[in-house]
Amino acid sequence: MSGHAYFELVVPGEPRGQGRARIGRGPGGRPMAFKDKHEVAYRSQIVSAWRAAGSPTVDGYWAASVQAFMSRPKGHYRKGGALSAAGLRTPYPARTPDVDNVLKNVDALVKCGAVPDDRLMIEGTASKHWADPGQERLVIRVSAIGVSPDDEGGAGEG
């Protein structure tokens, strides 16, 4: 399997971050961790976007950049559609999901085989932005990084 140098995925809809595992009761009343059903559905959307893009992969070391384009609250708009004072005072989304949980969405790409082990993720960046109405989305960009783990010779460690 030969990987790509770069690929980009766009997941339409309001971005979600990775939530915390919930604790419930399993068979026999034993405590059991489980994921939120909305998180599971969102992860499926990420995998669907990957498949729609042709199931691209990268090999070796890799980097990821995740951008969340989020909807503004209704209070950020005036009656005519222009930004209100509250909207003008808020240039960036300072609300959930947290930016670190947005970045954790790349884990769905590890699970489906788009990228190798997450130990080989050398760089990760995430950012949150306001989206125009109807343009909410998550954009994930993945790129291979120069040296394959098989090519390491110990040089350049520092």
- 2 phi and psi angles, rounded to 5 deg: -100, 130
Cα 89 from chain centroid?
27
6-149 CATH pick, 2.60.40.3950, 3.30.1330.70, 2.60.40.10, 3.20.20.10? 3.30.1330.70
Number of residues in the chain: 158
* Residue 20, pLDDT score: 72
pLDDT of residue 155: 44
Question: What confidence score (pLDDT) does residue 156 get?
Answer: 44
pTM, to two decimals: 0.82
pLDDT value of position 154:
45
DSSP state of 113: T
Q: Residue 47 phi/psi, 5° resolution?
A: -65, -40
Predicted confidence (pLDDT) per residue in 14-51, tens digit: 999 887 777 788 888 888 877 778 888 999 999 999 99
Give me the residues of the chain with pLDDT under 70, please. Answer: 1-2, 147-158
User: So what's the pLDDT on residue 135?
Assistant: 97
| Residues 130 and 70: beta-carbon distance below 8 Å | yes
Which pLDDT value is given to residue 120?
A: 93
Exposed, middle or buried: residue 119 (CB in 10 Å: 0-12, 13-18, 19+)? Answer: exposed
